[in-house]
Chain A
Amino acid sequence: MNTESGVDICTLIIENHECGGRSNQTILEVAEENGIFIPTLCRLAGLSNIGACRMCLVEVKGSNKLMPACVTKIQEGMEVTVNSERLAEYRKLTLEMLLSERNHICSVCVANGHCDLQSLAQKLGVNHITMPYIHPLMPVDASHPRFIADHNRCILCTRCVRVCQEIEGAHTWDLMSRGTKALVISDMNKPWGESESCTGCGKCVQVCPTGALSEKGQAAGEMLKRRSFLPYLSMMREVGK
């Protein structure tokens, strides 16, 4: 059945539930519409999806590859498994790698108690890290008059990069280098306080899932993220297109 041009209605099975959706929707969107929980970390509704964090990996019958649900479009007759021993193991392992790669000291973090990484670790049963911690020496950029970038807590989800580019339109943030050396940078790797493109809007701070970006003057556990602006601004952007 055609709704708009090139978009079909598909029926599929997600976690033993019969679901329906439009062919331009992702597995994650259809799962959420049907009340099926798939863990996510880099994804934030209102921003583009990039499939970077691998939390939303699911099994699709007929494929031995795991698919990121946030960027995989649904297809007619798909059979999707969200919860399996293999997926649970991979998700835990990925979270452990995120927690061991930099210095996530929850107890003294500004985002303690309000952190997406911390709460997901608890939800998925990560109560210790099985691989050795790397303990890299990471920079803390406090050059901005109102905000701090603490790279010890960054998980490279790029929510800040995306909100700055897609919603604020400034593209102050981007990624530099690869692998464990990858770093979120402002302008061409200038201190944040010297950035010419930054408008100081603070959207990056609010969408950051951890304590990597925070407002100055916050003590441990005080950095509450306010994200209510995002659905409205992303809706306005769609209207403007």
Chain B
Amino acid sequence: MTKARVATVWLDGCSGCHMSLLDMDERLILLEEKIDLVYSPLVDGKEFPENVDVALVEGSISTEEDLHKIRLIRKNSKVLISLGDCAVTGNIPSMRTVFPLEKVLERIYDENATINKQIPSKVVPRLLERIVPLHEVVDVDVYLPGCPPSAENIFFAISELLEGRTPDLSSTARFGA
């Protein structure tokens, strides 16, 4: 049996969803028999590969780089899971959207900086004015809210997809936890 090609991605989030992923504990071994983890903050690949079966994406779309990445992920993935509240709602990162971006940058890199005051313009990606959930940019197949989503829900979602079913998480997954 060929293994399913699974990727996990960390955009603008705290990595808590990936901690929850690791919280699957011994169930990771069960999954390992059925999946190849082809891209993830937990493995060494640098480029998001082609022909991914399931992509779990944590974090909101907050920078131009996030925009570029999510479009590539969508193009290369059969099933896209919006993993956790940042990906599904914008969550905590989106709280800066209420302020003008210019003011946010001034606050962080000028008002509150003690040395080397300057707004970064090189190397780091440009921030977007509005932070948005994944589905505002690309089509999402499965929504897995939670902050973080429980290991049980992540395991259930992946297992159902491996069996060719669409996971129904309505009774266990909600915004916030």
By the criterion CB–CB under 8 Å, are B136 and A112 in contact? no
**Interfacial chain B residues near A115, Cβ < 8 Å:** 176
Contact of B130 (CB < 8 Å), options: A118, A119, A135 = A135
Contact of B143 (CB < 8 Å), options: A112, A128, A135 = A128
By the criterion CB–CB under 8 Å, are B91 and A105 in contact? yes
Judge whether B94 is part of the interface by a CB distance below 8 angstroms. Answer: yes
By the criterion CB–CB under 8 Å, are A128 and B88 in contact? yes
Judge whether A122 is part of the interface by a CB distance below 8 angstroms. Answer: yes
Residue of B nearest to A108 (CB): B92
By the criterion CB–CB under 8 Å, are A106 and B85 in contact? yes
Q: Number of contacts between A and B (CB, 8 Å)? A: 75
Q: How far does the alpha carbon of A109 sit from the alpha carbon of B95 in the complex, in Å? A: 12
Q: How far does the alpha carbon of A221 sit from the alpha carbon of B170 in the complex, in Å? A: 21
Contact of B170 (CB < 8 Å), options: A103, A107, A127, A130 = A127
**Interfacial chain B residues near A90, Cβ < 8 Å:** none
Residue of B nearest to A123 (CB): B170
**Interfacial chain B residues near A106, Cβ < 8 Å:** 85, 147, 174-177
Contact of A112 (CB < 8 Å), options: B98, B169, B177 = B177
Q: How far does the alpha carbon of A108 sit from the alpha carbon of B14 in the complex, in Å? A: 14
Judge whether B135 is part of the interface by a CB distance below 8 angstroms. Answer: yes
**Interfacial chain A residues near B85, Cβ < 8 Å:** 106-107
By the criterion CB–CB under 8 Å, are B143 and A127 in contact? yes
By the criterion CB–CB under 8 Å, are A129 and B89 in contact? yes
Q: How far does the alpha carbon of A107 sit from the alpha carbon of B88 in the complex, in Å? A: 12
Judge whether A217 is part of the interface by a CB distance below 8 angstroms. Answer: no
Residue of A nearest to B82 (CB): A128
B126-165 contact mask (Cβ, 8 Å, vs A): 1 or 0: 0000101101100010010101000000000000000000
A127 and B173 in contact (CB under 8 A), knowing A135-B94, A137-B99?
yes
A133 and B174 in contact (CB under 8 A), knowing A128-B135, A128-B143?
no
By the criterion CB–CB under 8 Å, are B92 and A105 in contact? yes
Judge whether B15 is part of the interface by a CB distance below 8 angstroms. Answer: no
A94-113 contact mask (Cβ, 8 Å, vs B): 1 or 0: 00000100011111110011
By the criterion CB–CB under 8 Å, are A132 and B140 in contact? no
Distance between A127 CB and nearest chain B CB, rounded to angstroms: 4
By the criterion CB–CB under 8 Å, are B97 and A107 in contact? no
Q: How large is the interface on B (under 10, 10 to 19, 20 to 34, 35 or more residues)?
A: 20 to 34
A133 and B88 in contact (CB under 8 A), knowing A127-B145, A127-B170?
no
**Interfacial chain A residues near B59, Cβ < 8 Å:** none
Q: How far does the alpha carbon of A193 sit from the alpha carbon of B78 in the complex, in Å? A: 55
A133 and B90 in contact (CB under 8 A), knowing A103-B98, A106-B85?
yes
Q: How far does the alpha carbon of A118 sit from the alpha carbon of B94 in the complex, in Å? A: 18
By the criterion CB–CB under 8 Å, are A107 and B176 in contact? yes
By the criterion CB–CB under 8 Å, are A103 and B177 in contact? no
Judge whether A136 is part of the interface by a CB distance below 8 angstroms. Answer: yes
Residue of B nearest to A104 (CB): B175
Distance between A12 CB and nearest chain B CB, rounded to angstroms: 31
Judge whether A60 is part of the interface by a CB distance below 8 angstroms. Answer: no
B55-70 contact mask (Cβ, 8 Å, vs A): 1 or 0: 0000000000000000
Q: Which of A132-147 contact B (CB under 8 A)?
A: 132-133, 135-138
Contact of A136 (CB < 8 Å), options: B82, B89, B98, B177 = B98
Q: How far does the alpha carbon of A132 sit from the alpha carbon of B147 in the complex, in Å? A: 20
Distance between A122 CB and nearest chain B CB, rounded to angstroms: 4
Residue of A nearest to B99 (CB): A137
Q: How far does the alpha carbon of A133 sit from the alpha carbon of B91 in the complex, in Å? A: 11
Distance between A18 CB and nearest chain B CB, rounded to angstroms: 31
Instruction: Supply 4 further A-B pairs (C-beta < 8 A) apart from A106-B147, A107-B176.
Output: A107-B92, A108-B92, A122-B170, A128-B89
**A-binding residues in B (CB < 8 A):** 82, 85, 88-92, 94-95, 97-99, 130, 132-133, 135-136, 140, 143, 145, 147, 169-170, 173-177
